[in-house]
């Protein structure tokens, strides 16, 4: 099998980063040589497990593929924190040198602290990722909101990423918690899956149990397009969810009505030109007497076009809130908002931190959430 140059580059870079960790930490650790040898062996294994876990989808045996993915993603989570802690340690020691405070004791205790903190962050992050997401209450004040819509609730779940490490039991628990909220609407704002319908349909089946007074609605995320979006759109519809693809529905509620629209993912046109995300098309033909206009859009960067189109509120996901330190600092390089409720001209934008996780089973500083959005009168 021919290995591409880009693959070799990534492997080489990954190997150098693992070597950097070992070179900077292991000599300073006050442990026996045999333990240093075992630590070196683990670093070598991690270097191989991470790319193997990324490529596990190509393994024909699904049980073995999932096991390999688990091993690779756990290794990636720990490596990520180890690299960051090692880099911060070197910056810290350099600062001590500049200040004239550098000492052998500082080298020793910082070498111990670096892997200890990385391990602790990874352990805490694992439990945070694997627990059932907590409910986050978000009140959104809407100017001119009709009295009948005051208190209208939307249960938002996003970025579950059913796949190698997230299966039916994980999703079942999420569905139970959403249904307990008895929302007026359930919104699934993309990145539901990482894999094919053929492999994951048994694990996404719990979505059929979602219950909202006015129904359950779904919009595509970028990961649906990595996994054959057309097949997933058909499967989600089969499960009873309404897929909103640059379109809207009007939901009568008491003596008022709410417009709920949805757009395809911001990058959908790269996979299917007919799926280009279009908030203006989603609101086209809307009646003029609706009490509030809500848009479901996977990525926050849809917000500028949504505000131009006249929406009052956009519900998004995609960012995971950064998922774990320090990646939260990199999200703003691509997205205008990382997490929480923000204001863009006359429109509110709420960005969920996500209900599951992607890649490493790890959440640190960015807890998962099931969001209970409640509309209130401003």
Same domain? For 275 and 309 the reply is: yes
Type and span of the H or E element at 341: strand 340-344
Q: Give the start-end residues of each E strand in the chain.
A: 134-142, 153-157, 185-188, 216-218, 242-243, 247-253, 256-262, 292-296, 313-316, 340-344, 347-351, 369-377
Same domain? For 235 and 324 the reply is: yes
If one counts every other C-beta atom within 10 angstroms of the C-beta of residue 274, the result is 9
Cis amide leading into 375 (omega within 30): no
Domain of 145, CATH number, reads 3.60.21.10
Same domain? For 187 and 325 the reply is: yes
Domain boundary, last residue among 73, 108, 130:
130
Q: Looking at residue 1, what is its pLDDT?
A: 41
Number of folded domains in the chain?
2
Q: Which domain holds residue 119?
A: 5-130
Same domain? For 276 and 371 the reply is: yes
Instruction: Determine the Cα angle at 122 with ends 331 and 70, to 5°.
Output: 90
Could you read off the pLDDT of 4-21 as tens digits, one per residue? 667 788 899 999 999 999
Q: Which residues are paired to 21 by β-bridges?
A: none
Provide the CB-side half-sphere exposure for 301 (13 A, CA). 14
- Which residues touch 25 (CB under 8 Å, ≥6 apart)? 86, 89, 111, 114, 115
Q: Looking at residue 60, what is its pLDDT?
A: 87
Spatial CA neighbour of 299 closest among 182, 213, 220, 203: 220
Tokens 């709420």 correspond to what residue?
A: 350
Same domain? For 122 and 234 the reply is: no
Same domain? For 195 and 66 the reply is: no
Same domain? For 319 and 359 the reply is: yes
Provide the CB-side half-sphere exposure for 39 (13 A, CA). 22
The answer to whether residues 246 and 229 touch, using CB atoms and an 8 Å cutoff, is no
Tokens 């959908």 correspond to what residue?
A: 268
Same domain? For 158 and 81 the reply is: no
Q: Looking at residue 3, what is its pLDDT?
A: 54
Same domain? For 300 and 312 the reply is: yes
Same domain? For 47 and 23 the reply is: yes
Same domain? For 123 and 146 the reply is: no
Q: Which residues in the chain show pLDDT less than 50?
A: 1-2
Same domain? For 226 and 81 the reply is: no
Domain boundary, last residue among 130, 165, 191:
130
Could you read off the pLDDT of 10-58 as tens digits, one per residue? 899 999 999 999 999 999 999 999 999 999 999 999 999 999 999 998 8
């Amino acid at each position: 099998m021919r290995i591409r140059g880009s693959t070799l580059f990534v492997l080489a870079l990954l190997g150098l980063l693992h070597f950097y960790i070992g070179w900077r930490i292991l000599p300073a650790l006050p442990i026996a040589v045999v333990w240093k040898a075992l630590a070196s062996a683990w670093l070598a294994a991690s270097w191989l497990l991470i790319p193997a876990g990324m490529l596990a989808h190509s393994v024909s045996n699904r049980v073995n593929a999932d096991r390999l993915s688990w091993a690779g993603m756990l290794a990636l989570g720990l490596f990520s924190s180890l690299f960051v802690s090692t880099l911060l340690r070197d910056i810290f020691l350099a600062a001590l040198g500049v200040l004239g405070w550098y000492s052998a004791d500082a080298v020793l205790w910082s070498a111990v602290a670096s892997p200890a903190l990385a391990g602790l962050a990874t352990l805490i992050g694992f439990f945070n990722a694997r627990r059932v997401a907590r409910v986050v209450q978000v009140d959104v004040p809407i100017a001119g909101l009709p009295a009948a819509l005051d208190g209208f609730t939307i249960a938002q779940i996003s970025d579950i990423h059913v796949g190698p490490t997230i299966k039916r039991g994980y999703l079942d628990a999420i569905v139970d918690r959403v249904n307990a909220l008895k929302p007026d609407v359930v919104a699934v704002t993309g990145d539901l899956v990482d894999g094919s319908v053929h492999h994951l349909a048994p694990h996404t089946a719990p979505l059929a149990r979602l219950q909202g007074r006015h129904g359950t609605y779904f919009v595509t995320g970028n990961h649906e397009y990595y996994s054959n979006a057309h097949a997933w759109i058909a499967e989600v519809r089969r499960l009873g969810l309404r897929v909103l693809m640059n379109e809207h529905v009007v939901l009568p509620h008491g003596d008022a009505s709410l417009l709920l629209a949805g757009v395809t993912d911001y990058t959908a046109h790269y996979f299917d030109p007919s799926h280009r995300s279009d908030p203006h098309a989603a609101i086209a033909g809307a009646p003029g007497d609706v009490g509030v206009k809500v848009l479901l859009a996977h990525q926050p960067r849809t917000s500028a076009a949504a505000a131009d189109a006249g929406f009052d509120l956009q519900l998004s996901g995609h960012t995971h809130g950064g998922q774990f330190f320090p990646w939260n600092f990199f999200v703003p390089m691509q997205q205008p908002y990382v997490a929480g409720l923000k204001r863009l001209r006359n429109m509110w934008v709420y960005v969920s931190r996500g209900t599951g996780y992607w890649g490493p089973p790890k959440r640190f500083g960015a807890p998962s959430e099931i969001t209970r959005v409640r509309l209130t009168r401003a």
